[in-house]
A and B are shown apart, each in its own frame.
Chain A
Amino acid sequence: NNSSQLSSLPLQILLYVNGIYYIFYFLATLAMMIYKSQVFSYPDDLLAPDLAVLFLMAILEVPRSYLGFKGNLTEAEAPLGLSLGLTVGSVVLCVYLLLWQTYVLWADVLLNAVLLSAYGLESGLKVTAIAAFVS
């Protein structure tokens, strides 16, 4: 039944890899925030927003990833569309961590850049998948 398979294999692979990478990203960023708070002068009223953004992104990641998997496998465009919307939110938070954090280390730049590119590629693949499901 391969001719009528609409689920996108690259999207599935990317979603899976992104999930694993996100876990690594979350732990690394949290560890670096702890390191920054010990080594640099990091007042509490600047540390709180940064930590809040990181945890918010983690909370968004779970439904975003789940909806992406479900939508792609069931070839339904609604969950995939919702996942796309959540991806936009995650992208915004990622940009915050890249540009407007109190201290942006070189490692921060690398991690966030990789995540941002993964999100970008994922969004493109989701759009084509939705187009394929709708038509």
Chain B
Amino acid sequence: AGLCVCDLLVAQCDVNCCCDRDCSAEDFSLFTTCSVPVVTGDSQLCSQKAAVYSLDVEANPPERIFKLIDQVNPSIFCIHATNYEQALSLKSPEIPTPENFDQLLDKFGGATFSAEPESWNLDTDAENPPDANETSRYEFGVPVQTEDAFLRLPSPVVSSWCSDANPAGFLVNQATKCIRSVSVEKCDSIQALSMLFYINSSILAVKSVFQVNISVQSIVVQSLNGMRTLLSSTDVLRLPVVLDGLCINAVLGVNYHITHTDTGEIIEAAAAFVLGAISKETLSIEQSFEISFTQENTEPVPLSGNPGYVVGLPVRAGFQPQGYPFPAAFFFAALALSSNKHSQLTILHSTSTQDCLAAQGARAPVLFGYNMISGCKLRITAATECQPLAQTLLDVLKGQSFPEYVASFGNSQAQDVLDWVPITQLLISEQMISHTLQSSCQIPVSLGIEVKWTKYGSLVNPQARIVNVTATITSTTLKQLPSGRERIIPITSSVVFTDISSPAEPSYKAWPTIDIKLPFDFFYPFV
């Protein structure tokens, strides 16, 4: 009965199914053909009974013909007999009963089941203790856990409004800005405006073992007109209060600095705050958050490419430390790198006032691949003295600390001295054809930095490599002005990046050599 494969509907007649026992003679008369003509048991048996169904369409009404025949399997490997009842049928599953329920639950209740459940359990027990140590360290991207939840870095989610549910990932340096709606009345009730909200819960060092308190690194107070002052003492926790219609000590920005070991444990956490004031009219403020991770005992130096320079990243520069004058010692000295971006390779940054003497502080970093030109105007009167002016202009053009070496790759390390290119300094003096041949002093009027770079490496992925840096100072003679007159001289500085890559050289595989040797005894009878 179970062998009739077209009998799908229970207690109903299937159409064109001649072996269906639910069909009556009237149903058979409506069939057109028999979908399953032969019903047998397993065809591997040597001899078995087979039921053959056919439809006699000529009779009126059509009727089903049923014949029982003996089917013989002629193969020599046919099954003559079996002593195993379940041999040729699918195993029916065990029905759970109160007696075997526990055993079935053990076997099939887990996420996986295998043929030998006992050996499986033993393996996982042995592996558990070392696994527990492995997963308790932080890995890249894993949310930094605190006492109650995760270290939050509010960030805009769908719109620009701040969402406090963004966890900070370990070793993921992030900087986010978002807008928070505020009002002066609710100044002290909005939690996100208070410093306490950000340093309240302590960070777990190794995922539920030790706790690291977040210390306050610095507090900068920003006034309503945007001026920022660094507070000298960071001991007092400044909470938002309403004062004179303003809400002061509201958090405008938090900068987390997390120090970690090289095994994934957090050992220190510090937060630098920017506090500001909210006036009555302000409905929303922009908060900015940043988190950065530093490995202990290292100085974080951002790379400008790996290995070739990336267009737009600053050109890395450095100094040779003092006290290493001999060339032999040169190879053992490391370059002093500074992470302060103002002692990198910088050029003068044009300001709105365009006055060279007033703009001595503004400098812009030289970004790889970006040619820049900037300048300022110098007013010379009769009373200006040449020598101090020349020194001042040199400072204006070159900056306070002009570096001596430039990294040839974006990821050059300070200890690989050969990876650094020295800056060649040229001095060109424009001899103005003047009436008098008196030796007058020269003042520098322009600084041109030319960076020659080449494509290095493979053709499909060329890396930019700086080959040569030349800083050319052009100076001109300062003509003495008659008293009362004044002149304006333009001072310019520029950076030019030149690609000096040589065309790619194709390299071919070596020609195959034909290696023929005559057999040893080729000339046998004669040699």
Contact (Cβ within 8 A) B77 A32: yes
Interface residue from B75, B87, B91 paired with A103 (Cβ < 8 Å): B87
Q: 1/0 per residue A76-102: CB within 8 Å of B?
A: 000000000000000000000001111
Which chain B residues lie closer than 8 Å to A108 at the CB level?
80
Interface residue from A40, A100, A106, A109 paired with B83 (Cβ < 8 Å): A100
Cβ of A105 within 8 Å of any chain B Cβ, yes or no, is yes
Contact (Cβ within 8 A) A105 B86: no
Which chain B residues lie closer than 8 Å to A35 at the CB level?
77
Interface residue from B77, B81, B82, B84 paired with A107 (Cβ < 8 Å): B77
Contact (Cβ within 8 A) A104 B79: yes
Q: Tell me the residues in window 21-58 of chain A with beta carbons closer than 8 Å to chain B beta carbons.
A: 32, 35, 40-41, 46
Q: Which secondary structure dominates where chain B touches chain A? A: loop
A100 to B78, CA, bound (A): 16
A102 to B83, CA, bound (A): 5
Interface residue from A40, A46, A107 paired with B76 (Cβ < 8 Å): A107
Which chain B residues lie closer than 8 Å to A110 at the CB level?
76
Please, how many residues of chain A have a CB less than 8 angstroms from a CB on the other chain? 17
Contact (Cβ within 8 A) A109 B80: yes
A46 to B87, CA, bound (A): 11
Closest A residue by C-beta to B75: A106
Which chain A residues lie closer than 8 Å to B79 at the CB level?
40, 103-106
Interface residue from A32, A41, A103, A106 paired with B86 (Cβ < 8 Å): A41
Q: 1/0 per residue B44-68: CB within 8 Å of A?
A: 1010000000000000000000000
A-B contact pairs, 18 of them (CB 8 A): A32-B77, A40-B44, A40-B88, A41-B87, A41-B91, A100-B83, A102-B82, A103-B79, A103-B81, A103-B84, A104-B79, A105-B77, A105-B78, A105-B80, A106-B46, A106-B75, A108-B80, A109-B80
Residue numbers of A with Cβ under 8 A of B are 32, 35, 40-41, 46, 99-110
Residue numbers of B with Cβ under 8 A of A are 44, 46, 75-84, 86-88, 91
8 smallest CB-CB distances across A and B, nearest first, come from A104-B81, A104-B80, A102-B84, A107-B76, A106-B80, A105-B77, A106-B78, A109-B80
